[in-house]
Amino acid sequence: MQEKKIAALLGIMCFMLTVGICVQMRTVTSTASRMGRTYAENELRDSVLKWKEKYDLAYDNLETKEAKLDKLRETASTSSEASENVKAGLEQNNMALGFTEVIGSGITITLKDAEVATNKLDLSSSLVHYSDLIEVINALKNAGAEAVSVNGERIVNVTAITCAGNIIKINNEKVGVPFVINAIGSSEKLYGALTMHGGYIDKLKEDGVTVEIEKKDTITIPKYNGVYKFEYAKVVE
């Protein structure tokens, strides 16, 4: 009987020990699992934080680059506008100085010596003189001509029209009859200025000089091929 009690007690103790071991193993396994999950979560959190830091840095760099790019665009735009303004100014100056071939509407005047002298006492009055060219050119300029040429020679501020005997020179180039004068400007104003009653053209006609005036929609005037030289004028600094 005593032995049965001891056996029963040992059986109970073994059962309790088995249960304790099982509980302990479950506890250890659960703890290990929780620790594993916690470790994985920490690793993932660290990785996310690192990538967020890289993203923020990349975003800041992008904003800096975009700001620099905007400044470059602004500078380029300003430089382009300044360049265009300079280019337009140079074109206007070259046109004014006669360094550029120009085209536009205007009139063409052709002057020829008289076929028959009307003044037998002064035969030279029936010829076209350099002074006649100067008078007609001045009349055209006063009427607003923007560009003038005589027999292909551009008339500019430094143009010299001279005469040596029977030879007329413009820009130091020989020219002769017929004298073809092209002028760009308002064809109506230019024509009206030359054909006005009592004007210089009337005087030439009275002397027998042949004068032809024609309005034109398109006239091409060549550029001035000479060189501007300033011997006395200097730029004020």
Q: How confident is the model at residue 64 (pLDDT cuts 50, 70, 90)?
A: confident
Tokens of 193: 């200025």
121: phi then psi, degrees, rounded to nearest 5: -80, -20
Pick the closest to residue 113 from 208, 19, 180, 28 (CA basis): 208
Residues 197 and 41: their CA atoms lie apart, in Å, by 107
DSSP 200-236: HHHHHHHTT-EEEEEEEEEEEEPPP-S----SS----
Of residues 68 and 110, more confidently modeled: 110
pLDDT digits (tens, 9 = 90+) for 171-201: 999 998 999 999 999 999 999 999 999 899 9
Pick the closest to residue 140 from 66, 67, 65, 194 (CA basis): 194
Domain chopping of the chain, boundaries: 1-70, 102-221
Contact 183, 236 (CB under 8 A): no
Residues 126 and 203: their CA atoms lie apart, in Å, by 11
Averaging pLDDT over each range in 7-16, 36-45, 191-200, which range is the top one? 191-200
In CATH, the number for domain 102-221 is 3.30.70.1880
pLDDT digits (tens, 9 = 90+) for 93-102: 777 788 889 9
pLDDT digits (tens, 9 = 90+) for 23-32: 566 665 555 5
